[in-house]
Amino acid sequence: MSNLTIAPDFRLSIADGGAWQESRAENAVEVVVDVPAGTRFEASLVAPLGMGVGLWHPDMRGHRTLPPDWGGRFVTSLVRSAPVIALYDAIGQALWTIGCSHLVGELEVRGGVSEEQKDVRLSLTSLPLAEATTITLVVHPEAAALPEAVEQVITRLAASTGVEPLPLPEAASEPVFSTWYTYTQDVKDELVRQDARLSAELGCRSLFIDDGWQTGAHGRGYGGTGDWVPDTDKFPDLKATIAAAREAGVATVLWIAPLLLGHFSHAHERMRPYAPSELTGLNAQVLDPRHAEVREFVADTCRRVVADHGAAGLKIDFLNNAMAYQGTESAGDIADVGVAMQAMLAQVRQALSEVLDDEPIIEFRQPYVSPAITADGNCLRVGDCPADAWVNRVASIDLRLFVRGAVVHSDPLMWAPEAGADAVAQQFLSTFFSVPQVSMPLPTLSDEQRASVTHHVGLWRAWRQPALFGDMKVAGVEMGYTTASATLDRRAVVAAFRPEPLLLDDLAADEVLVLNAQPGDRVLLRGSGWSVDRAHTPDGSPLDVELPGDATGLVEVALPAWSTMVLRRG
């Protein structure tokens, strides 16, 4: 192993076998390693523990503990998270951050706190590389705010990989109505036509027809996948359904799992030689993208589905199942699953761009959120967490800190049918820093719920620029974020998820939307020179809120749970 001292008590070791070089600039260290074909990339890190309370990475969701070095393990690839890790403290600071440009192939990350040495020890190990590869390690060894540290590492990784993000059409950052939690696979033409009209009235501008439109989609089964034609009992004319939605003012995105090959599909006999892995209990197999025939089949299928039905794009799912082939011998023209997946998605991007004039909407969901995948997708969605506002909040903020060149979408929002406006507001305010996806049967909403949805969709659209693209600050990372803010063009959104002070004067803003995203009826503000412009209850009703007349320093303001107010400076 070759050893490199990054900083005092901070050491990096690289496995011998290839040349490497180091460069330092702007508080970051880059180590570029040439890894010969047939060998593994191996690196290990010894770093100080300091006041660390947790290891951050982009797919941690609810697992926010500091693991022991013998217990921490996760694997990254093009369709599974990314190798970016930060040790953070209790005030939302990254004590150090590291990232690796091996974003496509599998990389095993192991480690955590050493019981013996009282420091943090990590190892990064790839599978044997099919070709000679240059891999860059980016290390930010100094303490910085977590969003700043992650952004610096991601920016450098993106530069080292040369990834050009897919263009972002306006509809990709518009509120969504999703059919998934609303109907699961029991979706059909009359429901979509009805919900297109109703969701447009509520302020949504995109409609995602999820799993269920295709043949054989019953009882969570996937026996018909591979053909990707509409179930005519549900959709006699899917193109006409989508045209009706377009007339109502919403763009339609179709769900597809193009690597699934159903046992009962017409495509099964032709494609089954390329799908040896079985999805137990789902009547389907998984196509191996290492075959050129599979990549061509998938790209042609995606092109046909969009072109035939007039969709604005695709929500592409079940990609991570192909990692079952990683480490197995390939009978195709590409050896590595990640490399093959990257080639396949590039073909899909090209196919959809040709149909949609370079502006397709392509959505992926956790765990495939790698910086490398933004070349082929412009919406990265939180993984399934039905009605779990806490996980949806945590995962959406994690992705907001991490994602560059794409927009973050929340997991579809749902709540108890009998609940009031508070339940609706809880879902919206928890995920305000991502594109909201509403997924409830719209005709059955109570008047109170409908008023709340309309209010929050409108509020989010009015503040979506800072919410989606503003500079973020966070606190309480180890508790799933206690406060968060995003600032852009002198406007800021700031959320209290627990009763902690909101530091208004630290925001470069003259207008601030305050979210009381917690069950308490008070918010704490630190700042001076601010006044209340307007405030609203969870159902959107106007609310009379005043700051104390001598509002300087730390003040407590009566603001009901799940309510909002807009403050102006001066």
Q: Provide the strand spans (E) within 26-106.
A: 28-35, 42-48, 54-56, 73-76, 84-88, 93-100
Rounded to an integer, what distance in angstroms lies between the CA atom of residue 479 and that of residue 382? 18
492 Cα distance to chain centroid = 21
Q: Provide the strand spans (E) within 293-435.
A: 313-316, 361-365, 379-381, 407-409
Sign of CA pseudo-dihedral 165, 401, 453, 185:
positive
Locate tokens 């159903």: which residue?
A: 262
Residue (of 175, 238, 242) closest to 438 by Cα position: 175
Exposed/middle/buried for residue 546 (C-beta within 10 Å: 0-12, 13-18, 19+): exposed
Instruction: Give DSSP secondary structure letters for 336-350.
Output: -HHHHHHHHHHHHHH
DSSP three-state, residue 46: strand
Residue 86's contacts (CB-CB under 8 Å, 6 or more residues apart) are 55, 56, 57, 94, 95, 96, 97, 98, 146, 149, 150
Locate tokens 């006409």: which residue?
A: 240
So what's the pLDDT on residue 517? 98
Phi and psi dihedrals of 506, rounded to 5? -85, -5
Token representation of residue 286:
């998984």
pLDDT tens for each residue of 202-216: 999 999 999 999 999
So what's the pLDDT on residue 443? 95
Rounded to an integer, what distance in angstroms lies between the CA atom of residue 486 and that of residue 469? 8
Q: Cis omega before residue 499 (within 30°)? A: no
- In Å, how far are 124, 262, 304, 331 from 266, measured between CA atoms? 43, 9, 16, 23
What are the structural domain ranges in the chain? 2-161, 176-257+293-317+361-468, 470-569
Rounded to an integer, what distance in angstroms lies between the CA atom of residue 438 and that of residue 415? 10
So what's the pLDDT on residue 550? 63
So what's the pLDDT on residue 558? 95
Residue (of 270, 384, 380, 359) closest to 316 by Cα position: 380
Q: Which helix (H) or strand (E) holds 430?
A: helix 421-430
Contacts 24+ apart (CB under 8 A), 21-29: 26/152, 27/140, 27/141, 27/142, 27/144, 27/152, 28/138, 28/139, 28/140, 28/152, 28/153, 28/156, 29/138, 29/139, 29/141
Instruction: Identify whether the C-beta of residue 80 lies closer than 8 Å to the C-beta of residue 69.
Output: no
Beta carbons within 10 angstroms of residue 278's beta carbon: 13
- Could you say which residues of the chain have pLDDT below 50? none
CATH number for region 176-257+293-317+361-468: 3.20.20.70
So what's the pLDDT on residue 552? 66
Helices (H), 445-514: 447-462, 464-469
So what's the pLDDT on residue 280? 87
Beta carbons within 10 angstroms of residue 570's beta carbon: 6
